[in-house]
Homo-oligomer: A and B are copies of this chain.
Amino acid sequence: MKVSDNRVWISDVCPRDGFQIEPELVPTEVKIKVIDALSAAGVTAIEVTAFVHPKAVPQMADAEEVMLNIKRNPGTRYEVLVPNYRGAERALRTNPDQLNLVVSASESHNRSNLRRGTFETLNEFVEVAKLCAEAGVPVRGGVATSFGCPFEGKVARSRVLEVIAQYLDLGAESVTLADTTGMANPELVRETVRDVKAKWPHLEIHMHFHNTRGMGLANVYAAYVEGIRHFDASLGGIGGCPFAPGATGNICTEDTVNMFHDMNIATGIDLDQLLAASRRLERQLGHQLPSQVLKAGKTMELHPHP
């Protein structure tokens, strides 16, 4: 993907990070419709599902079914999340365009999520990466809690850099810095990006922000100013925070797209189609979505003079 100054790439993670926290099981056909609507609207990458144990995350039990029944748009990159070797084996049978791995920079968060230490998990990923290399499927390394840990608070920059280094050693082609529970702020984002770019000037860095404390788009803008061009976002802003019932989750795709379009930065996405998909999703889920543009309309949607 060529990166120019007036173009950004947005990956929609609604089908994985968003649905994962929905209290009710989202029907498989709703998931498939959402994914197909996203690719039809021009979203260039979608995190379709996670190959995790169905007992651990019942919402993702239909991972194979979803992957095998979506319309594969040649312009879309269909990514899947895997936590381990077993998940990678399952995932590779469904022909994904990319496997996304994730480990927490914070030791306690990783133990709470995966029941082992950060570097123990990274060691296990070596075999996963080999499997992917054999299958010719690229791997992206996700660094959860890059900007703060809900148990430990601040996360040392050195931990984030060490995790990235290990990912690159095992063959990851790009990385995602994730603000898992919405603890980043614009200045922290800028400092972090500068430190990572100082070490790896040509690394493709993706940012995964949550809007937990209202700073989602501020963090996107701060990262953009530092040269980041790849962002995760979730249709309708669905997703949440396991530590704060009622708090918002991922940044909202349509709000992010609207901001970039207002700044004359192309996303390749048809915002009207995206809003239509979000409106349908709101009806299908039966509850209001955090999306702001869904309520307020696009910035340049004018009103008749009274």
Contact = CB atoms under 8 A, between A and B. Distances in A.
A199 interface: no
SS class, residues of chain A in contact with chain B: loop
A284 interface: no
B292 A218 contact: no
A293 B153 contact: no
Interface string A137-163: 000000000001011110000000000
A257 B152 CA distance: 22
Interface stretch (A34-42, A95-103, A246-254): A246-254
Nearest to A260: B185
Interface of A: 108, 112, 148, 150-153, 182-183, 185-188, 211-218, 220-222, 241, 243-248, 252, 255, 258-259, 262-264, 292-293, 295-297, 299-300, 302-306
Q: What is the oligomeric copy number?
A: 2
Nearest to A291: B214
Contact of A296 (B247, B259, B293): B247
B305 A112 contact: yes
Contacts of A292: 211-214, 247-248
A295 B216 contact: no
